[in-house]
Amino acid sequence: LRQAEAEYITAMREVFAKKIEVGQPGYYELRLPNGRIAPQELVEQVGKLIDLPELRQSGVGGAAELTLEVSQLLRTTLTNVDLAAGFIQGQALFYRKNVAWWRAHVQGMLALIDDPTAWVAKNFDMIDEGVRSGAIVAPTEFLFAKQGIASIPLRIPYIGPGLGAFNRAFEWFITAGQTELYKAARSGAFKNAGMEDLVSLGAAIRKEVGTESYAILGVRPNQRTFEALSLFAARFFRANIGILGQSFTRGPGGAEARKAMGSLIAGGLAITMGIKWAQDKELPNMIDPYAPDWLQWRWGKTYYNAFGPFYPYLRTLARVNVAIAEGNPRKAATQIKYFLESKESLP
């Protein structure tokens, strides 16, 4: 009798697993907001008219499309299961609005278990407005896809749900960080701002948390494909370059970008100087950007810095300025070349 009960439980477990499998979208399919699964033919037709992160790339050939999916798979796998977004995408947010950074981390941790629906319900109106103004953009280039090759890891038994949980935590950290930053701005100086000012502000906020939107920028499919095949994380690269460039512009977005970069540099310098003084009773190297210890401190045999992903940008700018001051533009161009080569994509 016990053997029969064990076999029955095993059989029902398999049936339940099959029900879950059937309820998931297959390769090149898409789950619609109402829960139904759209077939591949419908996905292809919609993809010709509108660009959505969940839909596969449009305007590219079969070989390029396959390469894009493999690139997405490798990039997402390599950046998953580390919870490092707080000091990569969230590095500028850490210095700009530390309270928002901690709140985003809380939602990211909760998302390891499930989507933070209570937080979404509480902030729904602000999220909706932030999406419309371009301040809140999902980091899709670091997420597993809903279909295709880049969705394969999520289908692996036992391992797939774990990968999905870490991916979900990453996505909600970004979303919560952008929301909390936008909410703080709307309750302060931009309480009665018009949509034009909010769009300018939103451009800085989404870049500040390491995301960018091709749809908002109006980037064509062929250019998106070229960037995806040329850079490891094209939109993250655009966001970092964009926030640096926007800090030299006018308007609400330029002001927010300057505050973000100013907070990053001031905070990073303060931490670096404090650690270096505690170690050696001296200030860090802030003069020679070619030295390995420029704006860094040493721990064991490794150098560390407090600027996260912005450190290579700051070091390159410093080296270019030194080369130009020396009257050697070729040396400056070489530094830019080295910097771009370090951002090349996996394929």
Q: Dump pLDDT digits (tens) for 212-254.
A: 887 677 666 667 777 766 666 788 888 999 999 999 999 999 9
pLDDT for res 70: 78
Question: Which residues have a Cβ under 8 Å from the Cβ of 280 and sit 6 or more positions away?
Answer: none
pLDDT for res 21: 47
Specify the range with the lowest mean pLDDT, choosing from 19-33, 138-152, 274-288: 19-33
Average pLDDT over residues 163-181: 91
Which H or E run contains 257? Answer: helix 251-280
**Which segments within the chain are labelled E, that is strand?**
30-31, 37-38, 297-299, 302-304
Q: How confident is the model at residue 291 (pLDDT cuts 50, 70, 90)?
A: very high
- CA-wise closest residue to 101 among 168, 169, 167, 180: 180
Residue 33 has pLDDT above 60, yes or no: no
Report percent pLDDT > 70 for the chain.
75
Q: What would the pLDDT profile of 303-316 be if each residue is shown by its tens digit? A: 999 999 999 999 99
Which residue has better confidence, 71 or 165?
165
AA identity, residue 214: Y
Q: What would the pLDDT profile of 176-211 be if each residue is shown by its tens digit? A: 999 999 999 988 888 888 989 999 999 999 999 988
Report percent pLDDT > 90 for the chain.
44
Q: What would the pLDDT profile of 98-130 be if each residue is shown by its tens digit? A: 999 999 999 999 999 988 888 988 999 999 999
Phi, psi angle pair for 188, to nearest 5°: -115, -115
Which residue has better confidence, 53 or 89?
89
Residue 46 has pLDDT above 70, yes or no: no
Distance CA 114, CA 116 (A): 6
Residue 41 has pLDDT above 70, yes or no: no
- CA-wise closest residue to 53 among 185, 192, 174: 174
Residue 327 has pLDDT above 80, yes or no: yes
